[in-house]
């Protein structure tokens, strides 16, 4: 049945109505506090739907454990499991669905194993409550029926950007801002670089093996942290709030407010679920399982604004301005400090010029270019001023030329804008814009309908660009890691890449780590499983029904532990060594009952380890060697760099002494490589020294974390972006002083040349001999006299040449003995 609904026919070729009886009042809670699964059946599009709906739980929720929901700055409690659902179609075990279930009506997205997908929308979304029909409550349409972009045609390069706001002019302005980042603490930036070097050395050192290494994988030859969850902050401005509030209908204010909040929460939930479906299923150069978690939702009501300005400064609504274009609206979102989040997005209901649906900052793998995922709130230069901005932001609007945008289109728009945040520009060149029949990819400049094969996938161009950024970000130590580098710290890195990703809240099939809810996990694809030599487990690509489950008749998988025989898919018999002996742990063998290796028995406490710089403590090499001999640890802070890398302990008098001078570390007491028959102990490369102000390098010399040569320090001072900007700003303000200084320099150069000219010898015989610089310094008046006399000399020399009669020259002058020309006297001819 097709009935015109609002402006929906502008976007969708064919949709049908749903009028099943609402199931309100039939939901029952299970003993664990969750609602029991609900069965919903209806028919449409020449097929039957049998939906099994489950309430959210910890494994399926996209909300963080410390999730915050606030309205106008005030925290509110919203029970997401009361109305948000996930599940599948009973007729297709490989299907999946997500959405909301309110007032007995399902609203969301259904995806089938064969690739078909359907969207179910409540009619409330498109019609005012006064104009809603009474014979149906929902509509359903296939993604293949979305036609919004079929009428779009590429007429010029500018028009290729018509639905994403990132046109050429805006991109240039954004790049100026991104390249104008100012490091507020250059010393901290240098400390970070040195600390990062120290960190890499520790990892590569054969002496240092911590529990943190299990969280690092080598991908394409680079050590990548395994954190994959991007925690996001979602905001709904007063325009969107007002639109949804008006669509909810005529009812009491309390009920009205709660329904509006639930509708916005459902909107955000559906968008993040859709984005996760795309990013989780994409391998970015071997980096798999990127997922998004909602950490905070903020709603702003119209009560917070008055005349385009915040009514109350304490409420901090940044979106009150009425008439702003898309780039300025993004700037409003970027003004807030979003350093606590991986990304921060603002949703609105503003009809931007040109049909723009979204805009976001584009990340770059260049450490000196700000913007994109994990970017901190940082200082930037803008025109002649300093501004603070968060460039880990983006915006989405849900209205286009006066009509509500279908959810599926706005979901792909969000995935597109997040792709910019991850480092992908628009798809280019032509091989990444294939067009029909499979359609264009997510990062195509104009929005896609979502019905073609490529519409919900990234092109190879986008994957390559995103891989570069993710590789740079994930090589950094996660900022919320419990294990922190004790020397230097990270400081304010400005545009330096920061890893704000966290451990995934829920299990992810395909990361080769067995997690709750999984039988096994051999990898994302069949090739990954073959690489692991695991024939007992199904990969993620095997389909929703079998992914991360053991194959038929398999009792275990090698991904569950080293005690599983990959050839038989059964646990090894006993006496199979599963863990080798270490400095502080004994060898361990399988027990023939479990694929996991049993815990190893610890060795005796006090045994030397890490080349005698530590001792064993309950199976861990973290005991103090000083405490083992009854002393306390300390650092040497005075002496040569070699001396500062001596292991030191406090003696009985409380004096910090090198172990080379303590009787407890005499020759033969402890053995250390390369120090046979020598007393004391030397700290290992990578160890902190000088009270954590430095670390021991490979030559066992204490290197300060801020150690720089004179040339490096001079370069940092001169070419520091902050210094260059301050010089530029001073010139703009004191332009008159610059002009006077330039004129003074020109005058000085002129005088310098004039003065040097009379002191420089010349090969021209007609030139006056050069003055002596020392004579000039003793009698400066000679310089002034010489300046005037030089012109007179030249004039009289010319006169002599013209005034001597030719008869004298021809006949000669008898008795002429001297012809003398003086520059400061009249011509004198002396005849003898």
Mean pLDDT of 468-487: 70
Mean pLDDT of 519-536: 87
In this model, does residue 435 exceed pLDDT 80?
no
Handedness of CA 264, 270, 275, 276 (dihedral sign): positive
Q: Domain range for residue 616? A: 608-710
In this model, does residue 635 exceed pLDDT 90?
yes
Q: What is the mean pLDDT of the chain?
A: 80
Q: Is 131 annotated as a binding residue?
A: no
- pLDDT value at residue 153: 31
pLDDT band at 487 (very low <50, low <70, confident <90, very high): very low
Residue 786 and residue 810 in one domain = yes
- pLDDT value at residue 252: 59
Residue at which a domain ends, from 601, 621, 654: 601
Q: Are 244 and 260 in contact (CB under 8 A)?
A: yes
pLDDT band at 604 (very low <50, low <70, confident <90, very high): very high
Residue 696 and residue 587 in one domain = no
In this model, does residue 281 exceed pLDDT 70?
yes
| pLDDT tens track for 547-584 | 899 998 899 999 999 999 999 999 998 788 999 999 99
Residue 697 lies in a domain: yes
Residue for token digits 């002129």? Answer: 750
Task: List, as one string, the DSSP characters of 5-27.
Answer: -TTGGGTBS--EEE-PPP-TT--
* Distance of alpha carbon 167 from alpha carbon 172, whole angstroms: 9
Residue 631 lies in a domain: yes
pLDDT band at 540 (very low <50, low <70, confident <90, very high): confident
Residue 141 and residue 14 in one domain = yes
Residue at which a domain ends, from 649, 678, 710: 710
- pLDDT value at residue 514: 83
- What does R_g of the chain's alpha carbons equal in angstroms? 39
- pLDDT value at residue 237: 95
Number of domains in the chain: 4
Residue 25 and residue 136 in one domain = yes
Residue 742 and residue 700 in one domain = no
Give the burial string for 572-606 (b: 16+ CB within 10 Å, else e): beeeeebbeebbbbeebbbbeeebbbeebebbeee
* Distance of alpha carbon 358 from alpha carbon 415, whole angstroms: 10
* Distance of alpha carbon 226 from alpha carbon 502, whole angstroms: 9
| pLDDT tens track for 447-461 | 555 556 777 789 999
Q: Is 230 exposed, middle or buried (0-12, 13-18, 19+ CB in 10 A)?
A: buried
pLDDT band at 33 (very low <50, low <70, confident <90, very high): low
- pLDDT value at residue 4: 54
Q: Does residue 417 carry a catalytic annotation?
A: yes
Mean pLDDT of 766-773: 77
Residue for token digits 């020392």? Answer: 774
CATH assignment at residue 677? 4.10.70.30
Residue 247 lies in a domain: no
Select which of 16, 417, 518, 560 is catalytic: 417
Residue 614 and residue 521 in one domain = no
pLDDT band at 712 (very low <50, low <70, confident <90, very high): low
Q: Is 420 annotated as a binding residue?
A: yes
Residue 410 lies in a domain: no
Q: What share of the chain is helix, strand, coil (3-state, %, to 5)?
A: 30, 20, 50
Q: How far is CA 603 from CA 18, 93, 374, 589, 610, in A?
A: 69, 51, 43, 16, 15
Asked whether the whole model's pTM tops 0.75, one would answer no
pLDDT band at 273 (very low <50, low <70, confident <90, very high): very high
Residue 704 lies in a domain: yes
| pLDDT tens track for 643-662 | 999 999 999 889 999 999 99
Residue 127 lies in a domain: yes
Residue 106 and residue 65 in one domain = yes
Percent of the residues in the chain that have a pLDDT greater than 70, as a whole number: 78
Q: Are 671 and 654 in contact (CB under 8 A)?
A: no
Residue 266 lies in a domain: no
| pLDDT tens track for 185-195 | 444 444 444 44
Query: Token pair of 367, please?
Result: 């450490």
Q: Provide the 8-state DSSP code for 646.
A: B
CATH assignment at residue 584? 4.10.70.10
Closest by CA to 395, choosing from 466, 336, 458, 465, is 336
Residue 767 and residue 749 in one domain = yes
Residue 626 and residue 595 in one domain = no
In this model, does residue 707 exceed pLDDT 90?
no
The interaxial angle of helices 238-247 and 253-280, nearest 10 deg, is: 120
In this model, does residue 753 exceed pLDDT 80?
yes
Residue 646 and residue 766 in one domain = no
Work out the number of other CB atoms within 10 angstroms of the CB of residue 652: 7
Residue 745 lies in a domain: yes
Residue 553 and residue 576 in one domain = yes
Residue at which a domain ends, from 145, 173, 204: 145
Mean pLDDT of 332-342: 94
Q: Is 271 annotated as a binding residue?
A: no
Residue 620 and residue 597 in one domain = no
């Amino acid at each position: 049945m097709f009935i015109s609904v609002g402006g929906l026919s502008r976007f969708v070729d064919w949709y049908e109505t749903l009028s099943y009886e609402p199931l309100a009042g039939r939901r029952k809670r299970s003993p664990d506090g969750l609602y029991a699964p609900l069965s919903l059946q209806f028919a449409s599009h020449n097929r039957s739907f049998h939906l099994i709906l489950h309430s959210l739980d910890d494994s399926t929720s996209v909300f963080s454990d410390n999730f915050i929901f606030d309205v106008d700055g005030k925290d509110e409690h919203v029970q997401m499991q009361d109305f948000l659902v996930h599940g599948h179609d009973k007729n297709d075990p490989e299907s999946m669905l997500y959405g909301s279930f309110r007032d007995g009506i399902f609203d969301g997205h259904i995806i089938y194993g064969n690739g078909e997908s359907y969207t179910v929308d409540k009619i409330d979304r498109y019609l005012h409550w006064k104009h809603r029909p009474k014979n149906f409550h929902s509509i359903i349409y296939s993604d293949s029926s979305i036609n919004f972009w079929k009428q779009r045609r590429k007429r010029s390069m500018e028009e290729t950007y018509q639905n994403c706001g990132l046109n050429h002019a805006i991109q240039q302005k954004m790049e100026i801002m991104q390249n104008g980042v100012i490091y507020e603490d250059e010393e901290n930036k240098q400390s970070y670089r040195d600390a990062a070097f120290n960190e890499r050395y520790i990892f590569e050192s054969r002496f240092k093996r911590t529990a943190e290494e299990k969280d690092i994988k080598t991908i394409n030859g680079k050590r990548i942290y395994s954190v994959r969850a991007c925690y996001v902050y979602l905001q709904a401005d007063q325009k969107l709030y007002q639109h949804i509030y008006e669509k909810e209908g005529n009812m009491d204010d309390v009920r009205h407010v709660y329904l509006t909040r639930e509708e916005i929460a459902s909107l955000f939930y559906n968008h993040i679920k859709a984005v996760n479906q795309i990013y989780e299923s994409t391998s970015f150069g071997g980096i798999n399982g990127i997922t998004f978690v909602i950490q905070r939702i903020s709603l702003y009501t119209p009560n917070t604004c008055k005349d385009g300005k915040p009514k109350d400064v304490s409420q901090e609504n940044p979106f009150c301005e009425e008439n702003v274009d898309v780039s300025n609206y993004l700037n409003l979102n970027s003004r807030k400090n979003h350093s606590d989040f991986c990304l921060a997005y603002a949703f609105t209901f503003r009809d931007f010029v040109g049909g723009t649906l979204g805009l976001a900052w584009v990340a770059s793998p260049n450490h000196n270019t700000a913007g994109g995922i994990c970017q901190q709130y940082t200082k930037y230069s803008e025109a002649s001023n300093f501004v603070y901005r968060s460039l880990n932001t983006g915006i989405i609007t849900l209205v286009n030329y006066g009509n509500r945008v279908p959810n599926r289109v706005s979901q792909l728009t969000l995935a597109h804008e997040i792709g910019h945040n991850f480092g992908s520009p628009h798809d280019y060149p032509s091989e990444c814009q294939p067009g029909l029949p499979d359609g264009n990819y997510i990062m195509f400049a104009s929005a896609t309908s979502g019905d073609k094969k490529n519409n919900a996938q990234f092109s190879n161009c986008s994957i390559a660009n995103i891989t570069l950024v993710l590789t740079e970000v994930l090589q950094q130590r996660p900022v919320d890691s419990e294990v922190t580098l004790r020397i230097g710290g990270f400081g304010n890195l400005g545009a330096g890449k920061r890893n704000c990703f966290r451990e995934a809240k829920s299990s992810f099939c395909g990361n080769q780590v067995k997690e709750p809810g999984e039988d096994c996990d051999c990898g994302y694809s069949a090739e990954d499983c073959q690489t692991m030599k695991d024939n007992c487990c199904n990969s993620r690509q095997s389909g929703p029904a079998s992914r991360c489950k053991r194959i038929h008749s398999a009792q275990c998988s090698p991904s569950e532990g080293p005690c599983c025989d990959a050839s038989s898919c059964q646990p090894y018999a006993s006496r199979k060594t599963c863990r080798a002996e270490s400095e502080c742990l004994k060898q361990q063998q399988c027990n023939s009952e479990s694929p996991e290796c049993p815990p190893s028995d610890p060795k005796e406490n006090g045994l030397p380890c890490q080349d005698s710089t530590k001792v064993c403590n309950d199976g861990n090499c973290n005991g103090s060697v000083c405490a083992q001999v009854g002393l306390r640890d300390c650092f040497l802070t005075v002496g040569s760099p070699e001396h500062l890398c001596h292991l030191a302990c406090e003696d009985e008098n409380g004096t910090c002494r090198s172990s080379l001078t303590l009787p407890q570390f005499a020759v033969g007491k402890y053995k250390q490589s390369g120090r046979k028959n020598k007393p004391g102990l030397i700290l290992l490369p990578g160890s902190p020294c000088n009270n954590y102000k430095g670390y021991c390098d490979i030559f066992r010399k204490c290197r300060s974390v801020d150690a720089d040569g004179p040339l490096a320090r001079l370069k940092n001072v001169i070419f520091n972006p902050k210094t260059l900007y301050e010089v530029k700003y001073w010139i703009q303000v004191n332009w008159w002083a610059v002009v006077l200084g330039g004129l003074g320099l020109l005058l000085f150069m002129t005088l310098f040349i004039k003065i040097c000219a009379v002191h420089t010898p010349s090969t021209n015989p007609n030139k006056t001999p050069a003055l002596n610089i020392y004579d000039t310094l003793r009698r400066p008046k000679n310089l002034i006299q010489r300046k005037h006399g030089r012109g007179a000399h030249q004039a009289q020399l010319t006169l002599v040449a013209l005034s001597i009669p030719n008869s004298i020259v021809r006949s000669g002058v008898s008795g002429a003995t001297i012809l003398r020309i003086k520059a400061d006297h009249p011509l004198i001819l002396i005849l003898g």
